[in-house]
Amino acid sequence: MTDFTEANRRYFDQMATTYKDQFAQGQKMLSEQTAKRRSWISDRWTDTEAGKGQEIKMLEYACGPGVVSMTLAPFLTQVVGIDVSEKMAEEFNKNANTVNMASKMTGYKADLLSEPAPLEFAGSGFNNFDLITVSLALHHFEHPDTALQKLAKRLKIGGACFIIDLVPHAGHSGHGHGHGHGHGHGHEQMIQQEFGDAAHTVKAHGFSKDEMQKLFQDAGLSVNFEYELLSEPLVFTKAGKTVEKTVFIARAQLA
């Protein structure tokens, strides 16, 4: 685990038990918007002709409390949630139990992006997924390009990856496709202004359509790319202030 990933682990461990309440409005919006786009994300669900009678598995990486997993679990046979924060993985499991989905949903603490990845996550139970998602976490990844390349290897051929994240403000570029060097002090100041006490855990302001398409293509996710802005903003309260951010959902399939 790198120093940057460790900073994320500590930050989200500290806020895990209050995250659900602090971001309640935003999580409700994400759940509704995800449910609304289920057929856009994939045609293979347990209640569709394409998926009926089949095993359909999803991995939610950087799962947090599991709002996307809870939304989609009724239409899947198995959901694996993985987070670098042990406390967040615990919240994932608590929430799965609360919504009576514990038989389908299991959360684990792990860093799948480390070199090498943990051996205990190399087996079939943690590969050959039909769906992989990262929700409002890609901007926290030190190297989002490498992350998507590694996660894509855990998909079945034809499997879908969908990302929910922030749209960068005008004048702000996202992370780009390298390894985060050369941003300079100005970039760090903008991150600080935009993300406050979470700034030390953030690498990107968000991702444009072109940036997401490039990230997907470089990971072999080159089939049926789509990128949509969500119709509602992400609203939450931070340091006593109400914050609104525009959010996108993007999807593509493994070639």
How much is the mean pLDDT over the chain?
A: 88
The band of 222, judged by pLDDT with boundaries at 50, 70 and 90, is very high
- What is the distance between the alpha carbons of residues 93 and 28, in angstroms, rounded to a whole number? 18
Residue 61 parent element (H or E) = strand 57-61
pLDDT value at residue 11: 78
Whether the CB-CB separation of 175 and 144 falls below 8 Å is answered with yes
Tens digit of pLDDT for each residue in 51-107? 999 999 999 999 999 999 999 999 999 999 999 999 999 999 999 999 999 999 999
127 pLDDT higher than 80: yes
pLDDT at residue 114 greater than cutoff 90: yes
Rounded distance, CA 173 to CA 159, Å? 29
CATH topology classification for 3-253? Rossmann fold (3.40.50)
**pLDDT band (50, 70, 90) for residue 178:** very low
Residues 33-41: contacts with CB within 8 Å, 24+ apart? 33/230, 33/231, 33/232, 33/249, 34/68, 34/71, 34/72, 34/164, 34/249, 35/71, 35/72, 37/228, 37/249, 38/72, 38/75, 40/226, 40/228, 40/251, 41/131, 41/160, 41/162, 41/249, 41/251
pLDDT in tens, 24-54: 888 999 999 999 999 999 999 999 999 999 9
- CA-CA distance, 129 to 126, in Å (whole number)? 8
pLDDT at 21: 74
174 or 161: which leads in pLDDT: 161
**What's at 74, amino acid-wise?**
P
Kindly list the domain boundaries of the chain, sorted by start residue. Answer: 3-253
Who has greater pLDDT, 1 or 122?
A: 122
- 163 neighbors 249 (Cβ within 8 angstroms): yes
Among 7-16, 55-64, 126-135, 152-161, where is mean pLDDT lowest?
7-16
More confidently predicted of 233 and 212: 212
pLDDT score of 8 = 84
Let me know how many helices (H) and strands (E) the chain has, helices first.
Answer: 8, 9
